[in-house]
Amino acid sequence: MKNFRFPDFGLLLTVGLAIAAFNSCGNEDVIDGDLPGIVISGVKWATGNVDNPGTFAANPEDAGMLYQWNRKLAWPPTGDITNWNRSVPAGAAWKKENDPCPAGYRVPTLNEIKTLLTTGKVSHEWTSVNDINGRKFTDKNSGNSIFLPAVGCRGSDEGTLFNNDLKGFYWCSTQDESGFACYLNFDEGKAGWDWNGDRSHGFSVRCVAKK
């Protein structure tokens, strides 16, 4: 009868940790589920807009910064600016190296933007938080909600500000065609998505957690 040997649990633990490390490093979109955010219709949204690259605004009603599509350079949501880049950003999708979202988050896709507009699952209303206008999107099942401030935008020609506190424009990572990209837009009367956003406009960014 052959002698039975118990497995070397130290070796098994070492191998298991190595496999886990390989898996986590090999797929950068596998993210810890403890990231802060609000789940609405299956998508975890950040609670505030992107401020400077890699950071969130402190409060949900804060404007954060404005971004041209597929560019990581932040532009202020108020005041005059110089050196506005009028060229059209290239690319078939928002590249990871140009994503201004903090670690663990990314610019949402068009399909993720559309989940906020699914009337059977999500409601939305024009409201204000601390005297800042915007739209609140609420998951009908859970009651979870996020507030998106109506920051307005910067125009593609000179970076001039338009529609501050009247409309919201939020990029998604999905292009429409060369020169244009898709985005979420809303005002007091409605909310929807559009496909003809000039990539040189400066819009807000609200991130989603990677999965």
For residue 94, is it within any domain? yes
Counted domains in the chain: 1
For residue 173, is it within any domain? yes
For residue 179, is it within any domain? yes
pLDDT of residue 178: 87
* CB crowding 131-160: b at 16 or more within 10 Å, else e: ebbbbbbbbeeeebbbbbbbbbbbebeebe
For residue 85, is it within any domain? yes
For residue 182, is it within any domain? yes
pLDDT of residue 33: 67
Beta bridge partners of 125: 136
Q: Containing domain of residue 87, as a range? A: 32-209
For residue 1, is it within any domain? no
pLDDT in tens, 82-135: 999 999 999 999 999 999 999 999 999 999 999 999 999 999 999 999 999 999
Question: Cα separation of 122 and 91, whole Å?
Answer: 31
pLDDT of residue 28: 44
Closest CA to 169 of 149, 139, 189: 149
pLDDT in tens, 5-55: 334 434 333 333 333 332 333 334 445 368 999 999 999 999 999 999 999
For residue 21, is it within any domain? no
C-alpha distances in Å from residue 209, one per residue of 90, 91, 206: 25, 22, 10
pLDDT of residue 34: 84
For residue 189, is it within any domain? yes
pLDDT of residue 72: 98
pTM of the model: 0.85
For residues 151 and 164, the answer to whether their CB atoms sit within 8 Å is yes
In this prediction, residues 165-190 reach a mean pLDDT of 96
